[in-house]
Amino acid sequence: MTLSQSPPVAAAPEYAESADDTAVLAPVPAEPARRHGGDFRGDIAGLRAVAVGLVLLYHAGLPFLPGGFVGVDVFFVISGFLITGQLLGEIDRTGRVSLAGFYARRAKRILPAAAVVLVAVAAVGRFLLPRTVWETTGGDIVSAATYVVNWRLADRAVDYLARDTAPSAVQHFWSLAVEEQFYIVWPLLIILAILAARVLRRVPARVLISLGLAVGTALSLAWSIHYTAVSPQRAFFVSTTRMWELALGAGLALAAARTARLPRKVAIVLGWAGLVAVTAAAVLITENTAWPGYAAALPTLGAGAVIAAGVAAGRGGPVALLGTRPFRWVGELSYSLYLWHWPMLVLAAAYWDGLSVQRGLLVAAASVVPAWLTYRLVENPMRYARSVSRSPRLALSLGGNMTLAGICAGLVLTMSGVFAAGSVDTPRTPIGAGLLPRTGISERAAQMQDSFEYIYPDPLKAANDAPDSASVCFQSADPADVIWCTYGNPQGKTKVALVGDSKMDQWLPAFQAVAAQNDWQLDIAFKAACPFTTATTLSGGDAAKPYTSCTQWNATLLQTLVERRYTYVFTSHGSGKAAGPDGAASAQALADGMRQAWARLDAVGTKVVAVANNPSPTVKMTDCVDKHRTKLTACGFDWQRHDRDEAFQTQQLALSGAPKVKLVDLFDFICPTLKCPAVVGNAMIYRNGSHITATYVRTLTPFLADALRKAGVEVTYTAATNGG
């Protein structure tokens, strides 16, 4: 298993507490729960163990549980059920809901253990995480401590240029954020229902609560289905697509009296069927399944069935398995276990440069140790401290201080990253590709250089070494309108356009230099992950979804290019597929659409030139170079991957049926050695993923000019000192 790509991170387990703070109660308990009978729900304790077990095994990389992340949905249902049961019990006892008491119980139950983990991640991460992620991770810790990290991760998930960002060590806090946001709104709605019932008099509060819950559930579910189809990356993290899952559990709490009277045989079948549904979801669902959306109904309804059937089914139901001592022990430990396992996996992956499944399982198992210590030394002492339990003010103060500790830890790590980057001092401009022979690379016999006196841009700053178009002229994934920017001479007789995605955008600095010496009008139009084609574009790999805005963007772009009759159009792409005749993702369909677009331009006298894509390195280069500054060979990768690159293969497929279109391929000057290097001539080559730094692209300008001439482009170029 590797953690180079961010997998879904499942939710944290949730707890409800009665007046005496005993966890895992049936809704509306008449008496304080007893540890070994009465109102204690052993099936729910065990169901929590199932959920956290699925999460741990999935995160450890176990291949036969591709949908282990459905534990998030199980936890949400449990949380909605238990917390709503607690609130309804308070209403039955007192006729009201104490917000101070409710949030005080939440604070002393959730925040101390969370703060311990956040502080530990900041402290240990300072030594094990790459310096390139200190600032980002510190910001994540601050967001996790304030329970808004899910929105931060949602924004990052759709940031095309940040798609290779390593998974955050506190990414799993997104689910806690969703739950806490739900618990800000839900008690307030219950209070409003109580007040409305007093005004209406004849309508019971529970009826109004149930009505409001039904409306909210329907709206959230509908939005989840819609938003998952439109923006699945954001839909995974945002609260609005998840509220229906918590609301489902809340509905079960409202219906607890009725479900307790289910016929025993029906309840037994229902309970076991629910447990099977949860397990089946973990086995059958994969990361390519659009999530949450309607697909999340399988594990959520399964969890709901287990909960609904539990009381009526008795010992014949899933409690026969879930209520056993091992399941209950893991269930009690699940909150701390959830908090610790993911940071340990991320930190271990940073230390070992990735994790095998075997190591992942060992690390996940080892997380039991700090989880047990946190449970015994932090969770329980805070939960059962009489002084804290008796004083909501003291509990809230404790929670505030725990939150402040997490914020401070995150800020310290953030500032460490800022200072580390600020301390970088580069003595002079690198020569980069300027040291390479202009005649090309005849054979890759040379070895990579292990170290340099300096590297520019320094890997701590390389991510920002992008073309100046990135912040203004680059269209993001959702909008379909074309953003045009003009460089060079706006009145130049030679009109040139660069179009495509970020893999064309990366070449802008070199084209700017060429345009300046050739009096070109240089227009650019780029869109995230959007290849230039007439085909119906897709996104999302093999389980691709329609990339509607890209298809619309291309239609507008092509019409404009035809109308303006450019002298030359240069295009490249690094990702994306198109819909074939059967609607499935197809490289042939994309290539056919590329040829059709090129033919439209050829018909109006425009010469099209494709710029070859360069493949992705096998590691995140900025992290690797910073970690191996004196052994850069550790960051090299196989140059033959160029021929296996999917985007490059699609380009060649398209070119095979378009003899007038030429290919410009500068891969030999990006990878001039036996192993493709991270640094050439003191210049850092990569900034994120396989995107090349603006610095190195500038040093490639003479080679680009040579390649353009060979492709039939009328261009002159006189290289400046050091090749650029």
pLDDT digits (tens, 9 = 90+) for 442-464: 566 667 788 998 999 999 989 88
**CB of 308 closer than 8 Å to CB of 252:** yes
Lowest average pLDDT, out of 333-337, 578-582, 682-686, goes to: 578-582
Name the average pLDDT for the chain. 88
Q: What pLDDT band is residue 161 in, cutting at 50, 70 and 90?
A: low
Helix axes 149-157, 134-145, angle to 10 degrees: 140
Whether the per-residue pLDDT at 140 is higher than 50: the answer is yes
Cα-Cα-Cα-Cα dihedral sign, residues 267, 273, 274, 275: positive
Whether the per-residue pLDDT at 4 is higher than 60: the answer is no
Provide the pLDDT for residue 481: 93
Average pLDDT over residues 523-536: 94
Distance (Å) of CA 158 to CA 146, 447, 482: 22, 38, 19
345-395 pLDDT, tens digit per residue, is 999 999 998 889 999 999 999 999 999 999 999 988 888 888 887 888 898
- State how far the Cα of 702 lies from the Cα of 434, in Å rounded to an integer: 8
Lowest average pLDDT, out of 202-211, 269-278, 572-581, goes to: 572-581
Tokens 């050091």 sit at which residue?
A: 722
Q: Which residue has the higher pLDDT, 186 or 18?
A: 186
Residues 6+ apart with CB under 8 A from 479: 549
**CB of 622 closer than 8 Å to CB of 440:** no
Whether the per-residue pLDDT at 296 is higher than 90: the answer is yes
Instruction: Return the percent helix, strand and coil in the chain, to nearest 5.
Output: 60, 10, 30
Q: What pLDDT band is residue 25 in, cutting at 50, 70 and 90?
A: very low
Residues 6+ apart with CB under 8 A from 598: 608, 654, 658, 660, 661
Average pLDDT over residues 649-674: 92
Provide the pLDDT for residue 724: 41
Q: What is the pTM of this model?
A: 0.84
Provide the pLDDT for residue 180: 94
All structural domains of the chain, each given as residue ranges with its CATH number in brackets, are 42-110+137-332 (no CATH), 468-617+643-673+700-723 (3.40.50.1110)
Tokens 């609301």 sit at which residue?
A: 247
Cα Rg of the chain, angstroms: 29
Average pLDDT over residues 615-635: 91
Provide the pLDDT for residue 11: 42
Average pLDDT over residues 669-677: 90
Backbone angles phi, psi at 564, to 5 degrees: -85, -20
396-407 pLDDT, tens digit per residue, is 999 899 999 999
Q: Dihedral of the CA atoms 58, 59, 61, 64 (nearest 10)? A: 0
Average pLDDT over residues 157-178: 80
Closest among 451, 455, 436 to 673, alpha carbons compared = 436
Three-class secondary structure assignment of 384-420: HCHHHHHCHHHHHHHHHHHHHHHHHHHHHHHHHHHHH
Residues 6+ apart with CB under 8 A from 310: 41, 43, 44, 267, 271, 317, 318, 319
- State how far the Cα of 100 lies from the Cα of 570, in Å rounded to an integer: 63
- Identity of residue 383: R
Q: How many CB atoms lie within 10 A of CB 640?
A: 11
- State how far the Cα of 665 lies from the Cα of 170, in Å rounded to an integer: 41
